[in-house]
Amino acid sequence: MVSLKSLLLTAAVAVAIPLDEELFGRSVDFGSKLPHNDLAARQQGGGDKEGYGFHSGYFYSFWSDGSRGSVTYKNGNNGSYTSNWSNIGNWVGGKGWNPGGSKTIVYNGTWTAQNQNSYLALYGWTRNPLIEYYVVEAFGTYNPSSGTQRKGTIQSDGGTYDIYETKRNNQPSIEGRKSFTQFWSVRQGRRVGGEITTGNHFAAWEKSGLKLGTHDYMLLGTEGYGSSGSSAITVVEKGATERPYPNEPDSRKDNN
């Protein structure tokens, strides 16, 4: 397993989340994070330990590179979590589903990194083929559409998203160090809060020649890269009458 990686409140101010290896010609990597040994990480007190597993009926993942700064990530009730990071090298965390797939999710909350290198995105993996994918809802000081060719657009959930494809060579993945493809939908109007109809993006990608495989995990994540900020996010599947994994006890596994 990789980290990374009730009703909702009214949506608040939009802000963005970071990445860190190569995104569109720039070094970023929101998702290609294997569960990571966090012995070197400097984590602030009061938060959860790095790892991945289940909490309050949802899948979650929390990872940092431990290179500098500090981060506190805290799982909350149901699909909620909070985060606070300061001068961090790179971190990513969030809550969602394992496996992911076609569903309409509703999320909202706050994000205070609009002027930082940061992203807020729905993020996941598939196998056979090995694909890392993103639906970017908001970004900060770096626009992920920079430096690459757009493959199309999709109108969904009250906004327009640009579609991109990138390649990763010999990089960490949910299957170890491999080469794989990344699919992207990047929202033109940044927001924090609303609905994401994941099936619309999957269908638009396939129409553009970008075909997913068998779903692994999918979460609504916050990421920070060389930045400081905070977030408080809640996610739920639209129309769901109970948590996705009501019988899963709270659990955590160490990042590899």
CB proximity list for 48: less than 8 A, separation 6 or greater: 62, 73, 74, 75, 252
Instruction: Single out the residue of 105, 207, 194, 213 nearest to residue 154, CA to CA.
Output: 207
Residue 165 annotated to the active site: no
**Cα atoms in the 13 Å half-sphere on the side-chain side of 189:** 9
Beta bridge partners of 93: 62, 222
Q: Which H helix or E strand runs over 207?
A: helix 198-207
8 A C-beta contact, residue 91 and residue 4: no
Structure-derived torsion over alpha carbons of residues 85, 196, 185, 63, reported in degrees to the nearest 10: 30
Please state whether the peptide bond connecting residue 244 to the residue before it is cis, i.e. omega within 30 degrees of 0: no
Dihedral sign (CA 64, 193, 215, 182): negative
Q: Does 223 participate in catalysis according to the annotation?
A: yes
Strands 178-187 and 131-139: parallel
User: Which of 172, 150, 175 minimizes the C-alpha distance to 161?
Assistant: 150
- Enumerate residues 6+ apart whose C-beta is below 8 A from 86: 44, 69, 70, 71, 228
Q: Which of 50, 132, 137, 165 is catalytic?
A: 132
Q: Which residue among 50, 137, 165, 223 is the active-site one?
A: 223
Q: Active-site residue numbers?
A: 132, 223
